[in-house]
Amino acid sequence: MLRRHQQLRNRIQLVNDSCLFAIGLWVAHYIRTSWNLEFFWGGAKTIEPFSAFLWSYLVILPCMPMVLTSQGFYQRPLMPSRRDTAWRLFKSCMVATVGLILLLFLLKLQLARSVVILFGATSFALVFLKEEILRGLYRSRLGQSQLQKYFILVGSPDDTRRMRVDLQQHSKEGTKVLAELDLNQQPVEDLVSLLHDHSANGVIFNAKYTYFGDIEKAIHACEREGVEAWLMADFFSTNISQASVDEFYGRPVLIFRTAPDVSWQGVIKQVLDVVLASASLILVSPLFAFFALLIKLTSPGPVLFRQRRCGLNGQPFTILKFRSMVVDAEQRKGELAAMNEMGGPIFKLTNDPRVTPIGRFMRKYSVDEWPQLINVLRGEMSLVGPRAMDVEEVKRFDDWAHRRRFSVKPGLTGLWQISGRSNLKDFKDWVRFDLQYIDNWSLWLDLKIMWRTIPVVLAGTGAK
């Protein structure tokens, strides 16, 4: 099933299920008040009118779809097993019941909890009954005729063989192969004949080993016949990239992307960057001024250290840090090169003689990183991301695949920060954490990293 078809089906089911849960609350209240169950529940014979429970719709209607989604209820195949359906639905109803009872307790509402317990049971029964009705419809002759889709496979024998196996694994969803055709061996006219003979609903093209000119002619033939043409976009083999289809000024475009796609999570990440960076700057402003004064009084030179670092896609920017070394630290770096403790292009040295006494304290507790909050507000960095690297260090990369770490903005903290900081002695480990972050990024991962950074920084773990 195409993703957009599944998304449409899920949205329809989501609306239906929300309505059924709303009905379930009314049915639960009706059963409790009409069936004389006070002896069973051990409560009063009369309870509050249904109008007293209407407020719960403000919770049920928006929250139940999220609960069902979290339990994978809408990720099931078209014809799931009854056991799988019942288990996922049972867990969702349990979460809803316990959640409403806790809400009643927190709000100190003296409403009949028996109604809430019955609500879980009646909602389970209603939604499961709906699933059984759909199962019966899908299996009926009418349902099969509506769901059944007939396709012709076009491509090399190897491609069509793999596609046939995939379709057979999802045969319950109503796809059936009528014929196969190899455009490298047969003309487009043979495809037209197959369309006339079999009345196919669509043609699936595997273009990996077929000339695009022949594919274009075949798609034009499908256009004339009014038949859908599906072009499989796996004709380029990629190791990491995820493919997505979009539109560029009215022209379809296939995008291969290794970094996180544009999403609401990404928008929220940017908002959090601005809000949290602004709040942090305001919060630490007195200490900011204190350390600035301390640096000025204990060591000659500027308060801030500025250096060109590589940002998003390698774009250079000027990073800001509290100066923790002597003024001529860069000039003396060559003298200490033989003592480098870090593998790869990075220079790290325990007890670096260039670090000032106050600088050693600032580095241990990451105070020297505070001015980078300004870089975050400028949009050059993020709160969480790979560590920003010196432009000169990047030029010494021995593996250009390491540049993939520049596919997102650098951050003040990241997986490298909570996984050893300066205890990491090999640059490849550094890169491994950065790429692990990029490949598994989510807003929840950012929040976890920020939370775990706090004890690491306060303890000065792994900092030099």
The pLDDT tens digits of the residues spanning 185-234 come to: 888 888 888 888 888 888 888 877 667 788 888 888 888 888 888 888 77
Question: Between 251 and 43, whose confidence is greater?
Answer: 251
Q: How confident is the model at residue 171 (pLDDT cuts 50, 70, 90)?
A: low
Beta bridge partners of 390: 309
Domains and CATH numbers, the chain: 3-141 (no CATH), 148-235 (3.40.50.2300), 264-459 (no CATH)
Distance of alpha carbon 441 from alpha carbon 407, whole angstroms = 12
Contact 175, 151 (CB under 8 A): yes
pLDDT of amino acid 231: 84
Helices 264-298 and 357-364: angle between axes, nearest 10 degrees: 160
Residue with tokens 């690491």: 456
Distance of alpha carbon 140 from alpha carbon 127, whole angstroms = 20
What's the whole-number mean pLDDT along residues 37-55? 68
Distance of alpha carbon 327 from alpha carbon 61, whole angstroms = 62
Cβ partners under 8 Å of residue 90, min gap 6: 124
Residue 422 pLDDT greater than 70, yes or no: no
Kindly report whether the global pTM for this prediction surpasses the value 0.85.
no
pLDDT of amino acid 2: 61
Question: Between 250 and 152, whose confidence is greater?
Answer: 152
What are 384-412's pLDDT values in tens digits? Answer: 999 898 888 888 887 777 888 888 899 99
- Least confident residue range of 37-46, 134-143, 271-280, 340-349: 37-46
Distance of alpha carbon 379 from alpha carbon 394, whole angstroms = 21
pLDDT of amino acid 410: 93
Distance of alpha carbon 1 from alpha carbon 226, whole angstroms = 20
The residue type of 201 is N
pLDDT of amino acid 333: 73
What's the whole-number mean pLDDT along residues 292-320? 90
Percent of the chain with pLDDT over 70: 88
pLDDT of amino acid 39: 46
Distance of alpha carbon 313 from alpha carbon 327, whole angstroms = 30
| CA distances, 262 to each of 269, 284, 408 (Å) | 11, 32, 12
Distance of alpha carbon 204 from alpha carbon 153, whole angstroms = 5
Residue 261 pLDDT greater than 70, yes or no: yes
Distance of alpha carbon 219 from alpha carbon 225, whole angstroms = 10
pLDDT of amino acid 461: 63
pLDDT of amino acid 375: 94
Question: Between 255 and 325, whose confidence is greater?
Answer: 325
Contact 413, 384 (CB under 8 A): yes
- Beta strands 202-206 and 389-390 are unpaired
What are 320-367's pLDDT values in tens digits? Answer: 999 988 887 777 776 776 677 676 677 777 777 888 889 889 988 889
Cβ partners under 8 Å of residue 298, min gap 6: 356, 357, 358
Distance of alpha carbon 67 from alpha carbon 73, whole angstroms = 9
Contact 350, 390 (CB under 8 A): no
Distance of alpha carbon 423 from alpha carbon 388, whole angstroms = 17
What's the whole-number mean pLDDT along residues 123-132? 93
